[in-house]
Amino acid sequence: MEKVIKLSLIISIAINAVLIGLVSTQVEPRLTLFAGKNWTGLNLSLLSQDRSELEPEGFDNMAQSLCAVGTWLFYDLPYYNANETAYMNYLHAPNGTSIYCSNFDSVFSNKTSSIRFVGSPKSITAETLTLYAKTYFQGQSEYFTGDYSSPSLSETVSSLIITGSSPWTVFDRKGYSGTSWCIVPSGSNETTPAFVVDIRSQGIPHGTIRSFKKGCLNSTAVEVNIQKISPGLHRGGILY
């Protein structure tokens, strides 16, 4: 009798494990930085967390390699290069759920002083739009999951990142009016974010995004197709 109960308990745990595996497809962004190359040495792990400074963690200018899930931004200076344009690297870890490891290149090795993740803290595939005050995702940021009529960064927006597969329409007037552009992530059906390193290069002047809607709703909108980037680390900020 006891054996039967135990067995049925084990079976139900197994079934639950399978169900949880199937149901919770949500994967959170996470990152481990390593002081050594090839993901060795001292490490610092972050789960859906930003760090405006790494000095208090004892990890300033120390990272030589990383392992990550999701999309992450690495900056040469504290406060996400807000005070000064400098080197930065942006990472899309390929294939969503599995961990991706990489060395920083020789220029960016031992440089990282601040870090932030991109998109939803709960799911790396959620449909989100993040606006940044400076090109290459530097400076202040503002994160959205739906329509918004007057983002506070309006006057300065210079770059943006879309996660998930939905396009977004941006307008140069508040209240979803004026000239509009529909920004369409393109490429395969993998969940690669659309990285717009400089909106001006897509014909959208800096500081003109005054409202936006999720989806490609407006037939008068100029369609902007964003090429998906190859997985891995990419150079930004001051280019080298």
Ligand X SMILES: *[C@@H]1O[C@H](CO)[C@@H](O)[C@H](O)[C@H]1NC(C)=O
Helices and strands (H and E) in the chain: how many: 1, 16
* Token couple for 82: 């807000």
Instruction: Confirm or reject binding of residue 216 to ligand X (CB under 6 A).
Output: no
| Nearest-angstrom CA–CA distance, 135 and 198 | 5
- Identify which of residues 4 and 220 has a Cβ nearer to ligand X in the complex: 220
| Nearest-angstrom CA–CA distance, 27 and 120 | 10
> Which of these segments, 7-15, 91-99, 125-133, 153-161, binds ligand X (CB under 6 A)?
91-99
- Identify which of residues 110 and 149 has a Cβ nearer to ligand X in the complex: 110
> Which of these segments, 2-10, 68-76, 196-204, 213-221, binds ligand X (CB under 6 A)?
213-221
| Nearest-angstrom CA–CA distance, 27 and 214 | 22
Name the nearest CA neighbour of 226 among 198, 196, 191, 205.
196
Instruction: Confirm or reject binding of residue 188 to ligand X (CB under 6 A).
Output: yes
Instruction: Confirm or reject binding of residue 98 to ligand X (CB under 6 A).
Output: yes
Interacting positions 106-135 with ligand X (CB under 6 A): 106, 109-110
> Which of these segments, 103-111, 114-122, 143-151, 229-237, binds ligand X (CB under 6 A)?
103-111
Name the nearest CA neighbour of 48 among 32, 67, 28, 63.
28
Options 176, 181, 195, 212; binder of ligand X; rule CB under 6 A = 176
Name the nearest CA neighbour of 170 among 158, 179, 161, 162.
179
Instruction: Confirm or reject binding of residue 102 to ligand X (CB under 6 A).
Output: no
Residue 211 three-state SS: strand
Chain residues binding ligand X by CB under 6 A are 32, 37-38, 43, 64, 79, 82-83, 95, 97-98, 106, 109-110, 176-180, 188-189, 217-218, 220
